[in-house]
Structure 1
Amino acid sequence: MNLNKILGYAIGPIGAAALGFITLPLITWFYSVEDVGRISMLQVVASFSILLFCLGLDQAYVREYHESDNKPKLLKLSLFPGLFLIICTYGIIYLIEPTVIAKYLYDIPSAFLSAVSILCFFLAFTSRFLSLILRMEERALAYSMSQLLPKIIFLLFIVSTVLFGFKKDAYNLITAHTLSVLSVFLVFFWNTRKEWLTSLKYSIKWIEIKPLLIFGLPLVIGGLASWGLNVMDKLFLRSMSTFAELGVYSVTMSIAGVATIFAGIFNTIWAPMVYKWVKEGADLKKVDEISEHLLAAIYFIVVLAGLFSWILPYFLPKEYAAIEYLITLCLIAPLFYTLSETTAVGISISRKTGFSMLASIGAMLINVIGNYLLVPKIGATGAAISTAFSFWVFYILRTELARRVWRNMPSVKTYLIITILLSVVVIKSLFLDQGGLLLFIWIGMFFIGFFIFNRSIKMVKEVLLSQYAK
């Protein structure tokens, strides 16, 4: 994949992050912290719906794409089973009790909010498959634009609410989010019209879906466990704490998402690129090199976040002051997940997808125990510590299992560094009065990083110099 393609994929996450950086303060200043917590529950269940109803067939589509002679038919085989299930499931739930979804998610018994939420889940599910077409065809710019549009729509809706004095409540916020999801669906729907229209002419048989399900179904269990690993903190805060704590935590996670722009770019291009290398018989030692460079990037992101986290409270209401101490912890989860993708791709290459399930289940159980013990005592801080530790376990499990079924990869250096990072960020969150000492530690770690990752820094210099020469 050339630099232009990578930059094309980067436009979406970078632009979305910039828009999110504008939108986030608006939400925190004009909406209650409880409503911010409620919108996070919508996002939690939307991600659950994608994982559950995809049946792992989205990943089967990615795995078989380059080896399939009939890609439109592969799309239909992958999309149809889940599409049927999600329509039937949520349709039946709404017919039986129209208010139950809103009551459970938002503590508001509203048929309207339930209907809007179901629409959001359906659109998010369908958009998942349509986005894979653009991703696998390497239509980077179209893929990125679809990430930008929902952020723009959401921002315009929030700004309009403020300017025209509309009521700023959960109804307004949840509707705005669903409209943004609708916009991305329409973009995907139009940009992939050739592919899905072609797929309609093919009939499908169970025998053709079966091999895809054999690959994908173990990933459903693993994916749901991974989902649980990612959202267990919010579920425990919802049930054992308050919407206010959930709101503070959700905003912190959103800021962490902005700070980890490159993670979304990397996750988008990594697996298809490695599958292509395998098909072409390329030297897979470069997987180890990329993993090393990614570790260096993660190290410096966490250290710099620790050095400058004191700036964040100046941009947010006083209710969000705890973000200064939570942000580095919340960075750990997405960064360690991204790092694990560099090794865990070997599990998919070897088609031993059951091992992915084991890693996710193991880490999720750790997260359940951690949240159960810590959330009642220290609220959002406990949730953040539990989640960060669980993703540390998740990385180690995925790496060790990939080494077993694929190839032996160097791991000692990575294990040592991620353990040090985790330890320092946990100490920061628990011992808030030791700010001066922690600042000294962060500065020391920053300069030590130049020696530990000398090769990565040298590579960055060479790339920058070569670009400058052009």
Structure 2
Amino acid sequence: MPSMALLLIVLGGLLLFDGLVARLLFDVPDQLLSIMVAVGMIVQLVSRFLSLILRMYEQGLAFSMSQVLPKLLLLAIIGIYILIGVSQNLTSLVLAYVATFTLTCMVFAWNTRQEWLASFQQSVDAERLKPMLRFGLPLVLNGVAFWGLTATDKVLLRVLSSYQELGLYTVAVSFAAAGIILQSVFSTIWAPTVYRWVSKGECLERVDQVSRYVLFCVVIIFCLTGLFSWLVTFILPDRYDDVQWLVISCLGYPLLYTLSETTVVGIGVTRRTGFAMLAAVLAFATNAVGNWYLIPSFGAAGAAVSTIIAFLVFFILRTEFSMFLWRPIPRLVHYCYTTVLVFGSILSTLYGEQLSWLTYSFWLVVLLASFWTFRAEVGQLKQVVLYRLGNQ
């Protein structure tokens, strides 16, 4: 209710200005587009809360299908557009997205019908509501700040640069979306699992162990991307050649965020969500300042560099706050490798074309070093694989 009330107030205020939302997003002052965007946001908010029911009940298959379904529905609707000859314009595309969001929300509502129908039969417990609001309201501001953290690059590229640079950056982000799949899957599984561990007061050493495995995975993905990003030039037209350098820094958002999920546990356990909000606000400010100064000089490359630096700050702040509130976390290896990865990403994005083979040599050295640093984890993984093969 608080989230919906806040969203309705904000959207209501924006819709009072004819076509303002569409003008800000699409540079088209169209009130119909603005209303469609507002409907899409409301439906998405409802879907988000319904999806949390599936997630916290660990209904993995239903949750996973709900994540895949929107993509399939969007493709189906666009396919229908092509078959029946719908006008290929912005209004049709936005309508397709809104229809997709609405149908997905209906699926969520059906899968969680027992829970939300039961909620209407319960009265509001004011005593329980107060601590829940103390826990949740900072997360509203945290969500706004995190949205700013992830959207500032695109907004300022639109304002400070050209649509060509924005298009180039969007393509690079699309390739980096492979990291978002990892982030989504891990976050879905991790949150219920770690809270169950903590509630039982056992297996807490597993949190640190999982964090090292995730760090190893993050290092490998960064290094392999740095070594083989040139392959995208065989897929894209010549005018998108710079994507091979941008995609490395664009991985910073999903991969560093995923890593921070393993070190931020203390904030959730202690329910001190104000610290989560503070981390997001400071990272957002870092990204805004970085984009403001770098985009005019470097365009899409500046946006990518600023974003990965901001997510390094985000990761460090979440880790330090979690330690302050809960318990010490072995983090020296984390900080060393994430700093090296961000440094290499910045060099690749800004000067990769000039440095050429030196860039590839850098990523190869980091990759080989990681296998030495995480040799214990490699050995454990090898034992697991051999054990599984032996049982088969």
The bucket for the TM-score relative to the shorter chain is over 0.9
Q: 1:348 to 1:457 in 2, by over 3 A?
A: same
| Deviations 1:99-133 (CA, angstroms, capped at 9, x unpaired) | 22112211111122112111110110000110011
Write the mapping of 1:13-162 to structure 2, written as runs, cut at 5 A.
Answer: 80-91=1-12, 93-94=14-15, 96-162=16-82
Match of 1:457 among 358, 378, 381: 378
2:307 and 2:95 map into 1 onto residues whose CA distance is 29
1:359 and 1:313 map into 2 onto residues whose CA distance is 37
State the one-letter code of the partner of 1:420.
V
Query: Where does residue 411 of structure 1 map in the other structure?
Result: 331
TM-superposed deviation, 1:168: 3.1
Alignment partner of 2:312: what SS?
A: helix
The answer to whether the 8 A contact 2:173-2:250 is kept is yes
1:93 and 1:272 map into 2 onto residues whose CA distance is 37
TM-score by structure 2 length?
0.94
Q: 1:309 to 1:129 in 2, by over 3 A?
A: same
Q: Does 1:277 align with 2:200?
A: no
State the one-letter code of the partner of 2:365.
G
Match of 1:358 among 266, 269, 278: 278
Q: Does 1:443 align with 2:364?
A: yes
Query: Where does residue 244 of structure 2 map in the other structure?
Result: 324
State the one-letter code of the partner of 2:293.
L
TM-superposed deviation, 1:90: 2.6
1:182 and 1:466 map into 2 onto residues whose CA distance is 46
State the one-letter code of the partner of 1:324.
Q
Q: Which runs of 5+ in 1 are unaligned?
A: 1-79
1:174 and 1:258 map into 2 onto residues whose CA distance is 24
The answer to whether the 8 A contact 1:149-1:183 is kept is no
Write the mapping of 1:198-277 to structure 2, written as runs, cut at 5 A.
Answer: 198-204=118-124, 206-277=126-197
Query: Where does residue 219 of structure 2 map in the other structure?
Result: 299
User: Which structure's relative contact order is higher, taking Cα pairs within 8 Å and 6+ residues apart?
Assistant: 1
The answer to whether the 8 A contact 2:223-2:363 is kept is yes
Write the mapping of 1:337-356 to structure 2, written as runs, cut at 5 A.
Answer: 337-356=257-276
State the one-letter code of the partner of 1:311.
L
Q: Which stretch has the larger CA shift, 188-197 or 229-238?
A: 229-238
Q: Percent identity?
A: 40
The answer to whether the 8 A contact 2:3-2:140 is kept is no
Equivalent residues, number: 390
1:163 and 1:329 map into 2 onto residues whose CA distance is 39
1:214 and 1:149 map into 2 onto residues whose CA distance is 34
CA RMSD across the alignment:
1.8
1:333 and 1:383 map into 2 onto residues whose CA distance is 12
The answer to whether the 8 A contact 1:364-1:390 is kept is yes
